[in-house]
Every structure is written in C-alpha cells, then in structure tokens.
C-alpha cells in the first residue's frame, strides 16, 4: 500500500533554494513514491496551479508562492542491463546528482564524471540538459519518465523525444508542465575513454595520473580534477548562497566577434559554425570590471564572475529576495550591452508568484 505524501502548510522555502532567497509557500507536498502523485492530482482541482521544486539549484523563487509546491524526493538506482563493456541504469528523480556521479564512477561505470559537483537532484538534470567540461547530460541519457501535469498523463521519452539542445529540452520549452520521476543512462566501462581536453582540466587530470605512477588519464582522474577545479573557483552554496552559473555563454555572429577581437584581442570565444561564435560570458563580465560587483546584497563572485552570490546573512532582519537578484542582473546586463553590444541571458529559471515560469530575460517585477 502506498504511503500518504507529506503535506506542509505554510512552509519557508529559503533553505530549499541554493540562492537562499526569502520565499513563503502556502502549501508544500513532498513525494516519496510515484503513486502518491496520482493521489495528489485526483485531490486537486485542475485550475489550481502546481509548481515542481527539485533541488532548488537553478531557480529564483518569489517572496510568496501561491501555487502548491511539489517536491519529488523519490529515491533509488536500478540496473536495467549489465554487460562487459557497458551498463544501463535507471535513477529516480530524488537522487542527489553529485552523489550519483560518485556512485557510478566508483563502480567503474563511466560517462558522468565530467558533470561532477553540479548541485541539484537527478530529476532536474534533463530540464536544463546540464553540461560541463565538454560533456552534456544528453551524451548519456537513454530515456526520461515524466508526468504531464495539465493532462495528468504519464509519458516515456526516448532521447530524441527529449529535444535536447544547449541548456535546453522539451521539459524547459514546456516549462512547468512536467514532473520528471525517472532518468535512464547508458554508461561505459572503458577506463581509457575520457573527455579531458577542456581548458585546464587535462593538466590537472594528468598530474593526478602521474602522482599515481600512471601515464594515462582515467575517468577517476577526470572526476577528481573537476571537483578540485570547481571547488577552487565556485562558492559552496551552503557557505555562500548562489545558483551556479547565472548567465549563459552568448552566441553571436562571427562578424561581430571578429569586430570585438580588434578591440579586445584576448576575448574568449568558441566557433559554433561559420556564421556563429559562442563567447565566454565570464570573460565579458570580468573584463568589464564587474567581478565582485553588482548591487548589494547580490554580487558577482570575486573568483568566478559568472556566478551571482547572496551576501545577506541568515540572521539579517530582511533577507535577500527575487527583486534583489533582478536588480544586479539588470545592472550587469546593461554594462555588458554598453561595452560589447551583447545582451546576456539569464540561465536560472524565474518563478512568478503563482508558480508560473517567466521566460522574460529582463524581469524586474516581483
């Protein structure tokens, strides 16, 4: 028999979003079993809004949430197919992402090591198609199981149906409509197969291999090097609240990039195709003199300009809110636009009071 879901009313969500923004929800429901969702949907009226909150690592919550908040904390990892050179697993949405990476690599199952130390839960990973150090989630995903909340129907997506793109998926395109409960992965068992050619990763991974008296990098070296790099550059949300990379790397016309190169010879960019170039947003912010800047209490991180951090203390009488983030976002966007003629796009998801996702890139209203 399926246990009843956990209901809290009202609930403080300030500790359940990594930006630590002040947010009061009128009602929060925690799921530990897929069958509980059917109970909830049967009990709710269709016009009542629902909002899915996973690990809280890529969202900007409003001061008050009138929608019913669903927290899918389903746990479990199942082996679907185990062969000599590969393994196919299915992971429940509530599994911590970094813990999953550690678990797979420590078991000799490889493919996720480049995505180590990304905060959040597994169910949220396909929405943003998380990526780092030359690897994206869709390199390993085989399927996703999700419930379409408006129609209360279950769907099993293969990789193609997920419509993955750069920090994109059908779940993001149809934001707020899906609750992901399971994600399938195809991983390999070849310790010589690594992706380590990104930035300073190769040098650090090679050093780890040499320290172990090995000439070749293995996936464990890659994972450990990435953990060390991220820890040296990125603030721990538990210590200094943040929601990871705040701005997307903008894709601009190559002619525009070449024009910028004449004025800024050191500008960092990566060719997308003959017509387009992806520019490093962190470089733009840093070289505009904005590293560590912003409008208090939300400031760009002093070691990684791409990350916005919340400097309001937990015991402050007034906690930082969504509007504070919007003010710093707008300030940085306008400075970058004036200097480089590039409009940066926000990566974290902006949530309105009724739980709806606001896709505006310059939202200032709370």
Instruction: Give me the active site residues, please.
Output: 167, 245, 347
Q: Which helix (H) or strand (E) holds 224?
A: helix 219-233
Pairing between β-strand 50-52 and β-strand 6-8 as defined by DSSP bridges? unpaired
What is the rounded distance in angstroms from the CA atom of residue 309 to the CA atom of residue 300? Answer: 6
Nearest CA to 264 among 247, 249, 245, 286? Answer: 286
What is the rounded distance in angstroms from the CA atom of residue 94 to the CA atom of residue 34? Answer: 11
What is the rounded distance in angstroms from the CA atom of residue 107 to the CA atom of residue 103? Answer: 6
Q: How large is the greatest C-alpha to C-alpha distance in the chain, in angstroms?
A: 68
The residues, ordered by sequence, that sit 6+ positions from 238 with a Cβ below 8 Å of its Cβ are none
- With H, G, I as helix, E, B as strand and everything else as coil, classify residue 299: strand
What is the rounded distance in angstroms from the CA atom of residue 235 to the CA atom of residue 304? Answer: 9
Nearest CA to 240 among 159, 119, 346, 128? Answer: 119
* Cβ atoms of residues 239 and 310 within 8 Å: no
Pairing between β-strand 294-295 and β-strand 298-300 as defined by DSSP bridges? antiparallel
Q: Is the dihedral of CA 147, 148, 152, 158 positive or negative?
A: negative
Specify which residues 307 forms β-bridges with: 245
* Cβ atoms of residues 276 and 252 within 8 Å: yes
What is the rounded distance in angstroms from the CA atom of residue 23 to the CA atom of residue 13? Answer: 5
Nearest CA to 230 among 128, 353, 115? Answer: 115
């Amino acid at each position: 028999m399926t246990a009843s879901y956990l209901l809290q009313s009202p609930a403080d969500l300030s500790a359940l979003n990594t930006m630590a923004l002040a947010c009061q929800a009128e009602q929060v429901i925690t799921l530990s079993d897929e069958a509980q969702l059917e109970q909830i949907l049967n009990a709710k009226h269709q016009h009542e809004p629902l909002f899915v909150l996973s690990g809280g690592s890529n969202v900007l919550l409003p001061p008050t949430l009138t929608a019913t908040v669903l927290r899918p904390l389903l746990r479990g990892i199942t082996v679907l197919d185990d062969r000599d050179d590969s393994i196919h697993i299915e992971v429940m949405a509530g599994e911590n992402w970094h813990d999953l990476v550690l678990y797979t690599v420590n078991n000799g199952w490889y493919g996720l090591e480049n995505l180590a130390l990304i905060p959040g839960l597994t169910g949220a990973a396909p929405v943003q198609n998380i990526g780092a150090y030359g690897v994206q989630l869709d390199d390993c995903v085989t399927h996703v199981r999700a419930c379409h909340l408006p129609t209360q129907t279950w769907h099993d997506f293969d990789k193609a149906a997920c419509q993955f793109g750069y920090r994109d998926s059908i779940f993001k395109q149809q934001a707020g409509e899906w609750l992901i409960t399971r994600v399938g992965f195809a991983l390999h068992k070849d310790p010589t197969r690594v992706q380590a050619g990104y930035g300073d990763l190769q040098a650090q991974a090679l050093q780890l291999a040499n320290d172990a008296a090995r000439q070749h990098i293995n996936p464990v070296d890659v994972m450990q090097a990435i953990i060390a790099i991220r820890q040296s550059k990125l603030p721990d949300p538990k210590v200094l609240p943040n929601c990871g990379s705040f701005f997307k790397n903008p894709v601009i016309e190559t002619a525009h990039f070449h024009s910028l190169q004449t004025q800024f010879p050191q500008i960092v960019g990566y060719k997308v195709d003959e017509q387009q170039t992806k520019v490093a947003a962190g470089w733009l912010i840093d070289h505009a003199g904005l590293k560590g800047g912003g409008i208090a209490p939300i400031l760009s991180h002093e070691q990684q300009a791409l990350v916005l951090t919340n400097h309001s203390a937990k015991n402050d009488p007034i906690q930082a809110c969504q509007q504070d983030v919007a003010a710093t976002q707008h300030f940085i966007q306008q400075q970058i636009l004036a200097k480089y003629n590039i409009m940066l796009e926000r990566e974290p998801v902006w949530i309105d009071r009724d739980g709806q996702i606001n896709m505006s890139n310059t939202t200032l209203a709370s």
